[in-house]
Amino acid sequence: MNLNNVMPWDAPAPEKAGRPSAFGLLPEDLKALGCPNDANHLFSLLQRPWAWKEGAPKLGKDNLAFLESVADLSLPGIDESIESLDGTRKLALTLSDGRRIETVHMPRVVKNARVTMCISSQVGCAMGCTFCATGAMGIQRNLSAGEIVGQVLSVMSALGPGTSSRLTLVFMGMGEPLHNLDHVHRAIHVLTHSAGLCIPARRITVSTSGLVSGIEKLAKLKPRPLLAISLNASSDTARSRTMPVNKVWNLEKLRAALDSWGLRSNEKFTFEYVLLAGENDTDEDADRLVAWLGALSKGHNLNLIPMNEHDASEFCEPAEARIQAFSDRLKSHGCFVTVRRSRGRDVNAACGQLVKR
Ligand code: SF4
C-alpha cells in the first residue's frame, strides 16, 4: 500500500455544474470572480448564519444574481437528527450529489454554554481501521472546502450556537482529514477568517490516524489548527493489525513527524487511544505507550476511549476495572489522562460509530 500515490478519491469533489461552492470562497476569490459589491461584506453575509433567514443567507438582489452566475449556493441539508439522552445529536446531511455524511452536535451546558461540533472531511474513509464503523464502509469521495464549511453553517443555522465564540470544531467525523488536506485547509482558512465565523485556529482540531506526509505538510501551513493523533496501540505489530496506515508510516516515523511539528508555547497534542479488550489494554501496553511518547508523555492530553461496540467490528470494551488500571498506570508515569466516556453512544454518534446507513 502506498498512501502517497494519487488515489481516485483525490479528485476534487464534484461541484455543481462546474461552479465552486459559494461557501468555500474567500473574499479575494469573490473579488476575482467579479463581485459587484464589497467582497468582504458579501463573505460576511454568506458566513454568519445568525443573520440568515429561514436557513439561507440574506444576500440582496445584486449579490444573489452575481453568486448564482458564478457559484453554487446549495448547502448540505439536514435529513435526520437523532438526539441522545446526553443531549448529543447525530445528524445525517445530504450533499448536492445525494451522498450522505454525518455530523455530531454536542452542546455542553456549563457556566457559559458551548458547542463542540464533530465534522466530516470525506464520505467514508480509506484508512480501514478495524475498530471503526466509518472505516468499514470504505471511501466514496472527498468533501470540497465549501461542503465542509457548509456542513458547519447548516448545523449552526439549525441548532446553534448563536455566535461562533461558543463553537469548537473537531475533524473527527467521517474521513481522514489529512487525506483531503487541500480542501480541509481551505475550509479552515474560511472558518477562521475575521469577516466570517472568525473561529481561532486553536479552537479547531484536526485528528489524524498518523498520515505522516499530511502531518508534515500541515505543520507548515497557516492558519494551523491543533493536532490530535489517533494512536490505539503501543507497538508496530499491534498497530499494523488494527490500523493499516502503520504499515506505511510506523510509530518511529510518526514520532519523528511530531518532533518536527514545531510546537508553539501553550500548544498541546491530543493523543487518542481507543481501548480494545484483550488487544491493547495491558499494563505492558501502557508502559510501552509512555516510552514511545517520551517527552510528550507530560504536558499533553492523553484521551482513553473505551471501545464503542458496533456491528462492523469484533472488538469489545474492556471491563471497568481494566480501564481504571490502564489509566492509573499511565498516571503513575506522570501522564495527563482523561477517560472519555463517549457522548451519544445510544444513537451511534460516538467515536468510531459514524457510518452511512
Ligand atoms: S478511525 Fe478515522 S482514520 Fe480510521 S477508519 Fe475511522 S474515520 Fe478513518
Q: What's the pTM?
A: 0.93
222 to 47, 150, 181, 199, 340: CA distances (angstroms): 20, 21, 13, 14, 30
Q: Which three cell numbers stand for residue 214?
A: 499530511
d(CA 136, CA 125): 8
Q: 131 by DSSP, 3-state: which?
A: coil
Residue 102 designated active-site = yes
Helix (H) or strand (E) holding 40: helix 39-47
Q: Which three cell numbers stand for residue 119?
A: 465534522
Structural domains of the chain in order of their starting residue, each with its CATH number? 20-70 (no CATH), 77-347 (3.20.20.70)
3: Cβ below 6 Å to ligand 1?
no
* pLDDT above 60 for 3: no
| Interval between CA 131 and ligand 1 midpoint (Å) | 9
Per the model's pLDDT, the better-predicted residue between 9 and 117 turns out to be 117
The per-residue pLDDT for range 256-308, each reduced to its tens digit, is 999 999 999 999 999 999 999 999 999 999 999 999 999 999 999 999 999 98
The per-residue pLDDT for range 91-115, each reduced to its tens digit, is 999 999 999 999 999 998 766 789 9
Q: Which three cell numbers stand for residue 20?
A: 465552486
Single out the catalytic residue among 118, 132, 335, 351.
Answer: 351
d(CA 347, CA 341): 14
125: Cβ below 6 Å to ligand 1?
yes
Residue 54 designated active-site = no
- Closest of 16, 17, 115, 126 to residue 74, by C-alpha: 16
209: Cβ below 6 Å to ligand 1?
yes
Mutate which of 7, 176, 206 for ligand 1? The one with the most ligand atoms within 8 Å of its CB, which is 176
330: Cβ below 6 Å to ligand 1?
no
| Interval between CA 199 and ligand 1 midpoint (Å) | 25
Angle of CA points 192, 110, 302, to nearest 5°: 70
Packing angle, helices 283-293 and 320-332, rounded to 10: 40
176: Cβ below 6 Å to ligand 1?
yes
- Closest of 77, 146, 86, 74 to residue 116, by C-alpha: 86
Strand 301-306 to 89-94 pairing: unpaired
How many residues in the chain?
357
Q: Give residue 158's Cα distance to chain centre.
A: 20
* pLDDT above 80 for 356: no
Ligand 1 atom 4 nearest Cα:
129
Strand 226-230 to 270-275 pairing: parallel
Q: Which of ligand 1's atoms lies nearest the C-alpha of 125?
A: 8
d(CA 103, CA 349): 9
The per-residue pLDDT for range 21-31, each reduced to its tens digit, is 999 999 999 99
